[in-house]
Amino acid sequence: MITANYIKNNYIRSLPTAFCPGCGNGQILNAIARAIDELKIPKNEIVAVSGIGCSAWITSPYLKVDSLHTTHGRPIAFATGIKVANPKLKVLVVSGDGDCTAIGGNHLIHAARSNVGITVIMVNNGIYAMTGGQVAPTTEHNYKTVTTPYGNPSFAFNASEIVKAAGASYVARWTTWHLPNLIKSIKKALNKKGFSFIEVLSPCPTYEGRVLGMDHIEMLHWYREKFSTNAEGFYKIGEFVDIEKPELSEEIEKIVREAMK
C-alpha cells in the first residue's frame, strides 16, 4: 500500500509549507505525486513547469522532479519549448486560474489548438489568491471578492469548455473532493500523446472562503454537493474529451525529416 510517508519521502521536498491551512494545493501535490508513482515515471523523464501564484509552488519547490518556475502567465510557452526540444519528456504544467486564463490565456488556447503534448493542471479557486483575493476571469457572476464587494458584474470563463473548443486531446474537470478521479485523470493525461488539460476546483479558505463565509471543511462539502457529473455548465465535473490526434512535436519532426531528404 502506498502510504503518505512513502509519498512524502519519495516525491516531496522537505521544506516549510507556503500553503495556508486547508488550502487545496497540498491535495493536488499529493495527487500528482501518486499519479507519477503509479505510472512508474522515472524522475529524470518528467519536467514540471509553473508560473506565478500560490499553485505555482505545488511543483516548484515541492515536487521532487526537475522544475522551472517561470514568469506570470508563461508556463505553457516554456513547456512547449521543452516538449518540442525533447519530445521524449513528459512535461507537466501547474498553473493557477489567473495565470492560465488571464495573462496566459492565449498560450492556453494556442497550446490546445496546436495539440502540443504537454499536460496542464489548472488550479481554479476563482480568484487571484496570492495577491489578496481579487476578482479573476474565473470568478462567477455576482460572486463577492475583495475587489467586487457587491458581486462580480462580469461573467466567468468556463476554461474546460474553451480548451475543448480549441481542440485539446484530453479535458477533465474535478475538485479536490474528488481525489481518486483526479489521480486517474492525471495518469491518463500524462500518458496522452497530445495536449491534455485538467481543471481542478480547489479551495482557498483564506480569501475565497472568508468572503463566502465558509471554512475549508465547508468548502469541501460545498464542492461535493454542487459539482457532479449530472450538473450543468461550470458545475459539471468529469471527463469531457478523450481523443487521439496528431501531436505537434511529432508533426514538426516529420517536417524536419522531409526537409533533410
Give me the residues paired with residue 117 across strands: none
Residue among 7, 20, 41, 252 that touches ligand SF4 (CB under 6 A): 20
Per CB under 6 A, 25 contacts ligand SF4 = yes
Q: Which stretch binds ligand SF4 (CB under 6 A): 1-9, 17-25, 82-90, 220-228?
A: 17-25
Is 23 among the residues that bind ligand SF4 (CB under 6 A)? yes
Which of 225, 229, 175 lies closest to 202 in space, CA to CA?
A: 175
Strands 127-128, 119-124: pairing is: unpaired
Residues 123-182 that bind ligand SF4 (CB under 6 A): 125, 129-130
Nearer to ligand SF4, 50 or 206 (CB): 206
Minimum CB distance to ligand SF4, residue 150 (Å): 22
| Beta strands per DSSP E along the chain | 46-50, 66-69, 90-96, 119-124, 127-128, 134-135, 170-175, 196-201, 238-242
For residue 58, the minimal CB distance to ligand SF4 (Å) is: 10
Round to whole Å and give the CA distance between 21 and 17.
9
Q: Given the complex with ligand SF4, which of 58 and 111 has the nearer CB atom?
A: 58
Identity of residue 226: K
3-state secondary structure of 107: helix
Name the one range near ligand SF4 by CB under 6 A: 61-69, 122-130, 147-155, 226-234: 122-130
CB 99, min distance to ligand SF4, A:
12
Cα–Cα distances in Å, from 134 out to 2, 21, 47, 94, 126?
38, 20, 30, 20, 9
Here the cell at position 17 is: 509549507
Please give the Cα distance from 63 to 71 (Å, whole number): 18
Q: Provide, rounded to whole angstroms, the least separation between the CB of residue 238 and ligand SF4.
A: 24
**Touching ligand SF4, residues 192-251 (CB under 6 A):** 204-207
Closer to ligand SF4 at the Cβ: 125 or 196?
Answer: 125
Residues contributing to the site for ligand SF4 (CB under 6 A): 19-20, 23, 25, 54, 125, 129-130, 204-207
